[in-house]
Amino acid sequence: MADEKRNGATPSILSIRSLQKAFGELPVLTDISLSVERGNVISIIGPSGSGKSTLLRCASFLERADGGDILYDGNYAVKDGVYAPRAELNRFRTRFGLVFQNFQLFPHYSVLRNISEAPILHGEDRDEVYERANSLLRKMGLEGKEKAYPYQLSGGQQQRVAIARALAMKPEILYFDEPTSALDPELTGEVLKVIRQLAEEKMTMVVVTHEMPFAKAVSNRVIFMAGGVIVEQGDPVEVFENPREERTKQFLRVFER
């Protein structure tokens, strides 16, 4: 697909324009447009069923959009609902990592193998991958867990392994789909601490979350979705303390109780 030229300006790492997605007769995303600048953290908030997770799944090609554009660094992965050829899409897939709410680790693989399998399959040197994996485990506070299996770990530890697995592919952008929703409050703190650290390191991230204090504190921009549309977006302090739209106000009142 042809690349987009922007008069010499550096394109956003991710640009989505007029994205549409329906499941049968049910519209889930309607005319969604957003951009993500390199080094920024974008939090997407909103009620259940608002299309947040579907948006991430479309951006990562796990769901097929019905229309609109998806660009990475100004290069079209999807244009007017038409997808780039498979080989091009596979190259785009190396640009991002995805962390799911239910971990999705391979239960029959050790922690080390869960983290290292994908880079090795992509042709990287095994010793270099193992060194990187062990470095990531130290970063996640999981040193000494290399030989453990997922069932031997807490939920918070499993999610940190999942984050390390995503980082092992050296992505340019990380997508988090409600990464703490399956965890109790104590374990939630473990995972949010890791994401905060990544934010401080200027890792580009898009985080679908119900953790409002986290979204307010860590994000460069907050997007509020409801009913398959972006209702409001902007600076986190403005969105949380002075929302413009009545639907945003209604949603945030629940978290003030």
List the beta strands (DSSP E) in the chain.
14-23, 26-36, 41-45, 67-72, 75-79, 82-83, 96-99, 173-177, 204-208, 221-226, 229-234
For the chain, percent of residues with pLDDT exceeding 70: 95
Please tell me the predicted confidence (pLDDT) of residue 37.
96
Alpha carbons within 13 A on the beta-carbon side of 254 = 10
pLDDT at 88 over 90: yes
pLDDT at 3 over 90: no
Specify the pTM. 0.92
Give me the chain's average pLDDT, please.
92
For the chain, percent of residues with pLDDT exceeding 90: 85
Please tell me the predicted confidence (pLDDT) of residue 134.
94
Cα separation, 96 vs 15, in Å, equals 13
Please tell me the predicted confidence (pLDDT) of residue 242.
94
Please tell me the predicted confidence (pLDDT) of residue 10.
66
Lowest mean pLDDT among 9-13, 106-110, 237-241: 9-13
Q: Are 35 and 4 in contact (CB under 8 A)?
A: no
Q: pLDDT tens, 151-196?
A: 999 999 999 999 999 999 999 999 999 988 888 888 888 889 999 9
Please tell me the predicted confidence (pLDDT) of residue 9.
59
**Residues whose CB falls within 8 Å of the CB of residue 250, separated by 6 or more in sequence, listed in order:** none
pLDDT at 7 over 60: no
Q: pLDDT tens, 32-59?
A: 999 999 999 999 999 999 999 999 999 9
Report residue 4's pLDDT band, with 50, 70 and 90 as the boundaries: low
Please tell me the predicted confidence (pLDDT) of residue 186.
82
Please tell me the predicted confidence (pLDDT) of residue 247.
95
Q: How far is CA 28 from CA 19, 49, 64, 241, in A?
A: 10, 8, 12, 28
Over range 84-96, report the average pLDDT. Answer: 94
**Residues whose CB falls within 8 Å of the CB of residue 216, separated by 6 or more in sequence, listed in order:** 222, 236, 237, 240
Please tell me the predicted confidence (pLDDT) of residue 101.
85
**Residues whose CB falls within 8 Å of the CB of residue 79, separated by 6 or more in sequence, listed in order:** 1, 69
Distance of alpha carbon 18 from the chain centroid: 19
Please tell me the predicted confidence (pLDDT) of residue 108.
96
